[in-house]
Amino acid sequence: MSNAIDPVGAAPETRTISFLSLLFGCTAAPIFWMGQLMLGFGVTAHACYPGDQPVVFTKTGALFTALLVFDLVALAACAAGALVSWNAWRQVRQAGGESHTLHTGEGRSRFLAMWGMLSSAWFFLAILFNTIASLVVPSCAF
C-alpha cells in the first residue's frame, strides 16, 4: 500500500495479531456447526431411507460411530476457535497499555477476538445440544 494513500499506516493494534487467526476464531465454530447439521441430516436420512422402504437404523454401527466422531471433532474445533480468539484478545488487550473496562472493546482486532470467543461459546452449546439429541432421540422414527 502506498504512503500517499495512507500516510499514517495501519493502526498499531492491527499488527500484533494475524488476521487469519482472527478469521479462524470467528468462523471455525459456525462452519463446523453447519457441517454437523448437513452431515448428520444427510447421513441419517440416507441410512433410514436408502431406497423406497425405510429401514431400522441401529446406533451401534460404524455410521453412528462416524457421526459421533464428527460431533466430537466439531466440539474440539469450537474449543480451538475460542482458544485462538481468547489468546488474540489477551494479546491485543496487553498491547493496548491501560486496561480500562470502557476501552477493552475498541478496535477491529479486539472486536473480532471478542466476537470469536462469543460465537465459539454459543456454537459450542448448539453442537453439544445437537450431539446430545443425536444420542437420545431415535434417528429413524416411523
Give, for all 142 residues of the chain, the pLDDT tens digit.
555 565 555 555 456 678 899 999 999 999 999 999 999 888 888 777 877 877 776 777 788 888 899 999 999 999 999 999 999 988 887 766 555 554 544 578 888 999 999 999 999 999 999 999 888 887 776 5
Any idea what DSSP says for residue 104? T
Q: Any idea which residue has 453442537 for its cell? A: 127
Evaluate whether 36 touches 70 at the Cβ level (below 8 Å).
yes
pLDDT of residue 15: 61
Q: Between the CA of residue 101 and those of 49, 55, 67, 93, what are the distances in Å?
A: 55, 58, 43, 11
The answer to whether residue 55 is domain-embedded is: no
The structure's pTM equals 0.78
Residue 76: per-residue pLDDT: 97
Residue 19 in domain: no
pLDDT at 66: 87
Q: CA 30, 36, 40: angle at the middle one, nearest 5? A: 155
pLDDT value of residue 73: 96
Number of structural domains in the chain: 1
How many whole angstroms separate alpha carbon 70 and alpha carbon 138?
18
Let me know if residue 123 belongs to a domain: yes
Instruction: Tell me the three cell numbers of residue 122.
Output: 454459543
C-alpha cell of 63? 455410521
7, part of any domain: no
Whether 1 is in a domain gets the answer: no
Radius of gyration of the chain (CA): 21
Q: Does residue 96 form part of some domain?
A: yes
Give the model's pLDDT for residue 97.
Answer: 57
Q: Is 35 a domain residue?
A: yes
pLDDT for the residue numbered 69: 93
Q: Does some domain include residue 119?
A: yes
pLDDT for residue 36: 93
Q: What is the span of the domain harbouring residue 73? A: 25-46+61-136
81 by Cβ neighbours in 10 Å (0-12 / 13-18 / 19+) ranks as buried
Residue 114 CA to residue 88 CA, distance in Å, equals: 9
